[in-house]
Structure 1
Amino acid sequence: MSGISRRLGVAGAALTAVAVVASPAGAGSAVAGTGCFDRAREPYTSQVDSHLHFRPFGGQAIPFEELTGYLHKSGVRHASMYGIGQMLPVNSNCTYYLNCPGTPVVPSMKNDFANAENYVGTKPKDPELAVSMTFMDLNHPETIPPGIALYDKEFPGVFRWAGEVNLVKQALFPNHHTPATSENIKNWAPFMKVLRDRGIPITIHSDLGSDAEQTKYLHLMEETLRLYPRNKIVWAHMGLSKELTTMDPDRHIGIMKRLLDEHPGLTLDLSWRVLEDSYFSKPGVRQKYAAFLDRYPTRVIPGTDFVASRDKDYHVYEQELEVTSRINKALDDRAFRDIALGENYYRLLGLKESAPEVCRAG
């Protein structure tokens, strides 16, 4: 049967949050078992969002059912349900840390608890969600095992992901964030064992460096991978950031290849539009990254890095999904299935689901 969306749309300017679930021509035949995926007729947007912040840094969040409606409408069938571990103070009027230099942004459990309560209250099946622990303070790892124990007590079996957590995030330096040290990383062993024993992936934000010092912090991720070779480690944004927009693509790809070859437990995360805006969209660069992804099709997952602040709406999410999915158009069929259609994400989470095969041309 054709993969063209069969769900009915709902019209009207005054739609409620629930009504947002009406699907566009985007949802398509991404349901496993309904036949192959026709790339010529179906959308190229990713069908999993492995990096989605259901809670903002501060202020009001988009209501849970409204946000899950965004996913349903856009054809996203699975998502990792991140909070924001690093929150602005409750008495702050800011909703985004960059607008408030000098205001401390510190790890907190509040967003994780809100996410878990929303999830337990609804347990949505379309989209299916993997609730994540984002409270982890990598600079104070001794606080993490007791935190996990508390989560186990309050929400047994709910948390299936960890992160996004910050190893080093330069954008937060004005908000009192400091990079974790080599000594900190050594002391992660107790909580990393818990994640390893449970098969829980951990998404780590670890900047490679800045335009002035492009690999200044590379050693921190290298040490993490060396010390925890049996953990499922996801490197957010492939180490790129707004502080590093001028790195030679060949140099960056070379580093990624080396680390993937040396560390079988490493997965790269393509989330955040800075990758498209600062790298993939430049002349000749998209083809280089596509060739790299085609060579390592099983080692990459997609995501938007959308932050669900109440000042955003469906159109903002739709745009972020489209922008972060543009690289999918350049992938070969194997990489497209593994990345855009979710095969790698399912495997990383240990799900029984499989992505549809891509239809053969002609």
Structure 2
Amino acid sequence: MLAAVSVSASPAGAGTALQGCFDRAKEPYTSVVDSHLHTRPFGGQAIPYDELNGYLRKSGVRHASMYGIGQTLPVDSGCTYYLDCPGTPVVPSMRNDFVNASNYVAAPPEDPELTVSMTFLDLARPESVPDGIALYDQEFPGVFRWAGEVNLVKQALFPNHHQAATSENIKNWAPFMKVLRDRGMPITIHSDLGNDAEPTKYLHLMEETLKRYPHNKIVWAHMGLSKELATMDPDRHIRILERLLATYPRLTLDLSWRVLEDQYFSKPGVRQKYAALLDRHPTRAIPGTDFVAADNKDYQVYAEELEVTSRINKALGDKAFRGIALGENYFRLLGMDQRAPKVCKEEGKAH
């Protein structure tokens, strides 16, 4: 047996060098990948780039997708969070993507390894997207390797003038979805499943997307859950996910945002149901915090978000743990050469 990886502890649990084997009995359960990290806030000042990278290193995160937030508040609004400013429009913008790309090009860190994402895509105005991608190619050739998080429907933004994209809009995504497909570039889509009054009100929008673009690498942010959908029957939700995973082989579930833990996984008997789903589909999910790097937050906030969103990892079998917590699914999705360590086996028995 390969030697177990040795790491030092940290408040959120430390990470591991991606080599040897990973001893789950001795090492932390926190994910070494953060595939859903907003390095820029909706408005106001961000945590400085170098400082945020320090948070990742300290917490044991070795790889992260560097999302901006494409839907930004006006620079003169004085707002840092859209929920505090109902009535203030939140509209797609290139502003955060340009800052992220500029920071990355000036100082690309080796640890953590970052993947820069384009978040400006306006799914309700798809005709604007190809020219935007061409501009990014011109200004930052080869830098952007991910798309999203972009909003198909996000009910929390309705008070800020956001409207759900339509089936007609989705049909018109074809030109830019071809670009992403040709580049093997994943796209993370926020598409609320529904709300407590109508749990599957918007399911048809994600289904339309998957049906029209089955060959794109589509990541469903938060598995479709949200604060507006706190009381859905987990069995019903899991049946929907099972059906979509079986029908669309390139669909990946995003496990980011503590809402999943707070509203679903932490309820009696529910964690094991979702863990069983992930064990049945161990290659089909990726982890993330959904941390938004506004400068009124600090390391302790990030560490807590990582710990809370990683709790599901404890319930996973070894194959799903390797795929999700140790990053194998993330590496595969990006076409990276990197491999996650295998989980150490005790002689004569598995985890």
* Structure 1 residue aligned with 2:114: 129
1:148–1:157 CA distance, 2 compared to 1 (3 A): same
From 26, 47, 68, give the equivalent of 1:62. 47
Amino acid at match of 2:110: K
User: Structure 1 residue 300 and structure 2 residue 300: aligned?
Assistant: no
Q: What is aligned with 2:172?
A: 187
Q: 2:4·2:21 contact (CA, 8 Å) conserved in 1? A: no
194, 197, 202: which one pairs with 1:212? 197
* CA–CA separation in structure 2 for the residues paired with 1:168 and 1:298: 26
Is the Cα contact below 8 Å between 1:5 and 1:26 reproduced in 2?
Answer: no
Tell me the distance in 1 between the aligned counterparts of 2:170 and 2:5. Answer: 47
Q: Is the 8 A contact 1:97 1:175 kept in 2?
A: yes
How many Å separate the matches in 1 of 2:154 and 2:184? 26
Are the equivalent residues in 2 in contact too, given 1:116–1:131 (CA < 8 A)?
yes
Give the AA of the match of 1:195.
Answer: L
For residues 285 and 141 of structure 1, the distance between their equivalents in structure 2, rounded to whole angstroms, comes to 38
**Large movers: runs of 4+ above 4 Å:** none
Q: Deviations over 1:154-187 (max 9, x none)?
A: 0000000000000000000000000000000000
Cα distance in structure 2, aligned partners of 1:270 and 1:25: 18
Pairing of 1:1-362 with structure 2 (within 5 A): 3-5=5-7, 26-28=13-15, 30-33=16-19, 35-362=20-347
Measure, in 2, the Cα distance between the counterparts of 1:25 and 1:236.
23
When normalised by structure 2's length, the TM-score is 0.97
Distance in 2 of aligned mates of 1:130 and 1:72? 15
Specify the SS of the correspondent of 1:224.
helix
1:258 Cα deviation from its structure 2 partner:
0.2
> TM (normalized to structure 1)?
0.94
Contact 1:5 1:25 in 2 (8 A): no
Q: Is the 8 A contact 2:12 2:303 kept in 1?
A: no
1:52 deviates by: 0.2
Displacement of 1:309 in angstroms is: 0.2
Aligned-pair CA distance for 1:5: 2.2
Structure 1 stretches of 5 or more lacking a match?
8-22
- Alpha-carbon offset, residue 32 of structure 1: 2.5
Give yes or no for contact 1:237–1:268 (8 Å, CA) kept in 2. Answer: yes
Q: Identity over aligned residues, as a percent?
A: 78
Alpha-carbon distance, 1:265 to partner: 1.0
SS of equivalent residue, structure 2 residue 273? helix
Separation of aligned partners in 2, 1:6 and 1:206: 38
Counterpart contact for 2:4–2:22, Cα < 8 Å: no
Deviation at residue 26 of structure 1 after TM alignment: 3.3
State the one-letter code of the partner of 1:4: S
What do you get for the CA RMSD once the two structures are aligned? Answer: 1.2
SS of equivalent residue, structure 2 residue 22: coil
- Give the partner amino acid of 2:259: V
The residue type paired with residue 13 of structure 2 is G
CA shift in 2, pair 1:338/1:100, >3 Å: same
Describe the superposition over 1:211-260 as per-residue Cα deviations: whole angstroms up to 9, x where unpaired: 00100000000000000010000000000000001000000000000000
Indicate if the aligned counterparts of 1:5 and 1:24 stay in contact, CA closer than 8 A: no
User: Aligned residue pairs: how many?
Assistant: 345
Q: Which amino acid aligns with 1:247?
A: M
Separation in 2, partners of 1:308, 1:324: 16
Tell me which amino acid in the other structure corresponds to 1:5: V
Listed as ranges, the gaps of 5+ residues in structure 2 are none
